[in-house]
Structure 1
Amino acid sequence: MKPLRAALAPIIALSLTLPGCATHEPGTHAADDAPAFDLSKCQGFRNFDLAEIRERMSEEDWQKASDRVTNILADQHVPEVAKDAETLILAYQASYPTVRTTIWYSAERQEWRGYRTSSGTAYGPVPPPPPPPPPPEDPDQLAKYEAARAKEQARKEAAERAEEELRREGYLYTAASTAIIEAWMNDPCFAAEPDFIRTPLTLKLGDRAGEGWYCPPDGNFWVGEIRKRGETVRQMSVPCISKTATHGFLAWATSY
């Protein structure tokens, strides 16, 4: 099996107001109390001075970043069955397409499920469908026309029922996707990164070491949130495609 990062390289979540939940305080992180880990093994830390982000982020900056994530995720759909899940993940990709994914783990069922919505395409909003053609005047053709319209209506109603069931129950992740989710949840590189990735990022390698790196003009950004029962809520954001674990996780979450 390829290493997780290599497998994800080609493809390189909703803010619920729940009682007892709090996000990290400025300068703190869920990974702060974790055992020491060699961050040089992490692609993001090898490429960028990520520790500098925490150093230059004021309390006001941190609160603005947190509020932004909260506001973006406020309208995200969370099925009733997911609201008390052992783990709840909310992921959002901006620009085109705009994608929202809700992922949750049911300890009772011992399974990961998800619900994903997407609007638009990589090239812009999806245009409305064209109107149906007018009915033919020929009686024989009219019968076929009405039968085709009835069949199409039945298809739409079936699709609406299926979508409503997805909104209630979500879809079941495959064993392969489940393994990827659990790998991300236990990835020390992902845990060690700052919650809010910001540019410019100071480069650490190559001829441009020490220089600032800015986002390419791709237009996408990602935000997310991880809620584990009994633990502090982790919010996160990344402004563009980058070789960081935070981008890798959120990009994967909004792709599957």
Structure 2
Amino acid sequence: MAQYAVIVVAAGKGERFGGAENKVFAKVDGRAMFLRSLEAFVNRDDVCQTILVVSPADDQQVRDKFGANLGFMGVQLATGGAERSDSVFNALADVRDDADYVAIHDAARPCISQTLIDTLFAEAPKSGAVIPAAPIFGTLKQIGESGVVESTVSRVDLWEAQTPQVFKRSLIREAYDKRGDFEGTPTDDAQLVEALNHPVSVVESNFTNIKITGKSDLVLANAIIRTLPKSAPKSPLSPFEEAQW
């Protein structure tokens, strides 16, 4: 069985979410958002390592409030950087050599389903690089600086990339080692792999794998997560409230 290391990125500023606290601490169905994202992976037999990336500003809070939970779940901590790509780069340095593949997931996507993870993990050995994405059905407008519509953009062949994005370990390390050659700031991990001219496969997802950006997204996320099948945890449970499954 192929083994996967999972990096959950929770080091973003979440400025669009608002509030003094990082959005990843916001609760989804009674649990911190980032814990929900971690729980999707920690009890899988094909996951050999789970790394949570947090910003230096949040590190002490995570250790103080959630340290026992993360210990029960076998989660390692890594320090985030100035940009998302810096955070992933830092975590990649801690990925174990026995991991065949690396899955990189946004902590702000707590509604990821086991079915989607299964499909991505099954595809990764075939292509070496696979991402979930959802076709765009709405009408897209390009807006100018004056706030006026400049054009209507064709949505044909346009898909919205999601996470977890899964790559062969050696491939994603090479991509990040060469990120200095990338012009601009990559907005997802697949961009760096694409820059190596390596094909990236796509598994069709949908918008239930929502990325929580604003507070209004919590309402939808709460509704979605309650519809997901719940499996019994294989690991011990923490006695603390935050560790209740």
TM class by shorter chain equals under 0.3
TM-score calculated relative to the size of structure 2: 0.23
Answer 1 or 2: which has greater helix percent: 1
TM-score calculated relative to the size of structure 1: 0.22
Answer 1 or 2: which has greater strand percent: 2
Higher alpha-carbon Rg: 1
Structure possessing the higher relative contact order (Cα contacts under 8 Å, 6 or more residues apart): 1
